[in-house]
Amino acid sequence: MSRLSASAALSPPSPATAAGRFARIGVEPWICFILPVATLWFLLAGPHAGVSALWWTLPVWLCVAADYYGPADRAAPGRDAMGWLLDARLYALFALQWANIVLLLDVVGRLRWATPAEFASGAANLVALRVLAGSSSCCCGIAVAHELVHRPRRHLRWMGRLLLWTVCYDHFALDHGRGHHRLAATPADPATARFGERFGDFFRRSVRGQWLSAWHLEGRRLRRFAGPGRWLRHRVLHGLAVQLALLALIFVYFGPLALLVFLYQAWVAVRMLEAVNYVQHWGLVRAGGRFGGADAWATDSWFTLHAFIGLSRHADHHACAGKPCHRLAYREESPRLPGGYFVMVLLVRLRNDRYCELAGRELQARGLGPFLPGRA
């Protein structure tokens, strides 16, 4: 190596080079901030007078439109030139989720119900909170928690659990990593929807099954311990204790209505999460013992990819669970969903039979699930 080339290799990048790298990242990585920032803005300006509060739900419907009309994105992930900045998003999204939860409780506590006008305004604010906070808690809360609980650093995994506490779903961290990733696309996995299964049936089976799975996984881990020490180490019990304490604090400091709204936004977020779970493995059964790229559904929606921080590239996530979200690749062998996650959640909830029809056609065309060669 010449002296000139060695000097260039050792010298730090120039400001212009750093600015160029930042510019090459583009706007896509910041799409995940649309819903939490819109929710934060609504809460900081609230409570809102009259039915004007309903106009604040517009960002959610614009996200659905962007998901439906937006372009496809199957491009390979770029190099990690600014990977640290993309990881920094996770800290910002974590802070936004907790800020929104605290502000939500404060806004609900300040609603007044004495007159018909106040009742109408309060009801409009609650409807807007249901749409905004529920959607944000899924995209900004659960999706980010999913990414964090897979990271190797201990503090990041704890941040993921803290986010799950905001939707009362702490056990997800345990079952997802030690249960779902081991059993996905098999009949033993409660988070894998079966061929022809409707969402309502799946939701009841999945929520109950994931909690029981987490409980049994912890029981198996703690078999070598006896007496009270076993229960003191039980992570599912830890999560229950913390979440019950959080609910008690909300009741004491913000009142019963704020507690009900907190639980409702958690319910909306979990329903949205389970709708995504429903479409991620619906009808798929592994052809062999190992998980393959054809054992998870894919969507090439550009908007979903960035709003859900890479969650839509689900097959690659299962192949390498510790890979950062911005490094996940699209798998061509995966069956393709007819739309992005925002569109799929609405389709599953409003026209479940239509979704089953479209998904069944895709599986039949690809010879997957019940249509695998040799499967009765």
- Cite the DSSP H helix spans in the chain: 3-10, 15-25, 34-45, 58-69, 83-109, 116-136, 143-149, 154-165, 171-175, 181-183, 199-221, 228-232, 235-254, 256-281, 302-307, 314-319, 341-350, 352-366
pLDDT confidence of residue 13 = 44
Q: Where are the domains of the chain?
A: 30-371
The pLDDT tens digits along the chain (376 residues) read 443 343 334 444 444 454 444 445 578 889 999 999 999 999 999 899 888 899 999 999 999 999 999 999 998 886 655 678 888 999 999 999 999 999 999 999 999 999 999 999 999 999 999 999 999 999 999 999 999 999 999 999 999 999 999 999 999 999 999 999 999 999 999 999 999 999 999 999 999 999 999 999 998 988 877 777 778 888 999 999 999 999 999 999 999 999 999 999 999 999 999 999 999 999 999 987 788 889 999 999 999 999 999 999 999 999 888 899 889 999 999 999 999 999 999 999 999 999 999 999 999 999 999 998 866 5
Nearest-10 Cα torsion for 120, 141, 27, 87: 160
255: left (phi over 0), alpha (psi -120 to 50) or beta: left
Q: What's the CA gap between 319 and 297, in Å, rounded?
A: 13
Count of CB atoms situated within 10 Å of the CB of 375: 11
Instruction: Specify the pLDDT at position 309.
Output: 93
- The rounded distance, in Å, linking the Cα atoms of 101 and 109 is 12
For residues 198-232, one letter each, b for 16 or more C-beta atoms within 10 angstroms of the residue's C-beta and e for the rest, the string is: ebeebbeebbebbbebbbebbeeebeeeeeeeeee
The per-residue pLDDT for 24 is: 54
C-alpha 353 chain-centroid distance: 24
Whether residue 47 is preceded by a cis peptide bond, meaning omega within 30 degrees of 0, is yes
Prediction pTM value: 0.90
Residues 192, 197: Cα–Cα separation, whole Å: 10
Predicted local confidence at residue 282, as pLDDT: 97
Residue 33 half-sphere exposure, CB side, CA atoms within 13 Å? 15
**Closest Cα partner for 260 from 355, 122, 63, 96?**
122
* pLDDT of the residue at 248: 98
282: its two tokens: 């619906």
**What is d(CA 23, CA 320) in angstroms, rounded to the nearest whole number?**
28
CA distance 73 to 281: 20
Q: Which amino acid is at 242?
A: V
Distances (CA, A) of 364 to 202, 335, 358, 372: 21, 10, 10, 8
DSSP state, 272? H
CA angle 225, 226, 231 (to 5 degrees): 80
